[in-house]
Amino acid sequence: MMNKRLILSACVALGGCASSPPPAMSFAPLDYSYLPPITLKVADVRVVDNFTPTPAQAALAAQDPAPPQATLLNMLRQRLVASGQPGQGTVAVQVASVDEVGGNLTGTMTVDIHLSGPDGHSSAFTEASVSASQTMPDADASADDRRAALYQLTKRLMTQMNVQLQYEIQRNMPSWVVWSNTGAPAAASGSAGGGASGAIQSAPLTAPAASAPAAGGAGTALPAGQINHTEGVPDYLPGAGPAALQGQ
């Protein structure tokens, strides 16, 4: 009789363990510090946030393991740096939104870059904008399922923005970028207005010879010795043009 009671107690205990909720899903941080910076010919690059989300957008961002607004701002501060030459740069986040429309998540990111020389006359401007969508889980889905959908959308937006931002800078303001013929970090010399053949500092891109480069090209692999240890981002260096966005 005692043995039966012990077996019954063990079964009850095991049943209780089986019904325990599963551990919460974890998500890799979307960090882009492993990518080479884009060095601009200015003394200072100021990153500002001009976007104010609606209450509904803020509620979705609060559920996202990688809130789009904060993730975008962090990437811009990591990748856009100043060479120390005279001039000022302002990088503004105009949109970093996610909306739920008709059972789908739709996301948009827009970044403006304005550079000005010390004389107050020379200047450059470009804008990068991307959008993506993701199916939202059903209303009875778990909180983790909703968080995973939001995370995947932000990840896709950031992948596209990393590509598009560097492409627009290369196309629309090449003379404001610190170029290097060897691919090594270039010395901070000269002024905005003169470009040279080579690559964006530390990045495997080809500088325009006399005019902005044509669109096209595919993503390239990380150079030797540079390893992506971040699970949340792709293994190519973004910036070779919109063609790199295919399949994202």
**Domain annotation covers residue 3:** no
Indicate the number of domains in the chain: 1
Q: What is the pLDDT of residue 141?
A: 80
Taking CA atoms, 115 is separated from 77, 177, 205, in Å, by 16, 11, 21
Give per-residue pLDDT as tens, 144-167: 999 999 999 999 999 999 999 999
Q: At what angle do helices 143-172 and 68-79 cross, to 10 degrees?
A: 30
Name the H helices within the chain: 2-18, 55-63, 68-79, 143-172
Q: In the predicted model, is pLDDT for residue 177 greater than 70?
A: yes
What confidence score (pLDDT) does residue 9 get? 53
Residue 195 included in any domain: yes
Please indicate, yes or no, if residue 13 is contained in any of the structural domains.
no
Domain of 128 in residue numbering reads as 23-243
- Let me know if residue 46 belongs to a domain: yes
Select from 64, 73, 65 the least CA-distant residue to 91: 73
pLDDT confidence band for 26 (50 / 70 / 90):
confident
Instruction: Quote the CA–CA distance of 243 and 215 in Å, as a whole number.
Output: 8
In a domain, 5, yes or no: no
C-alpha–C-alpha distance, residues 54 and 92, integer Å:
18
> pLDDT by residue (tens digit) across 36-77?
899 999 999 999 999 999 999 999 999 999 999 999 999 999
Is residue 30 assigned to a domain?
yes
Strand, coil or helix: 4: helix
Task: Please tell me the distance from the alpha carbon of residue 143 to that of residue 233, in angstroms, as a whole number.
Answer: 23
Supply the pLDDT for residue 243: 39
Tell me if 1 is assigned to some domain: no
25, pLDDT greater than 70: yes
Q: Mean pLDDT across the chain, nearest whole number?
A: 74
Q: 33-37, 124-128, 202-206 — which is least confidently predicted?
A: 202-206
Identity at 135, one-letter amino acid code: T
Q: Whose CA is closest to 45, among 104, 115, 111, 99? A: 115
Asked whether residue 94 is assigned to any structural domain, the reply reads yes
Taking every pair of C-alpha atoms in the chain, what is the biggest distance, in angstroms?
A: 96
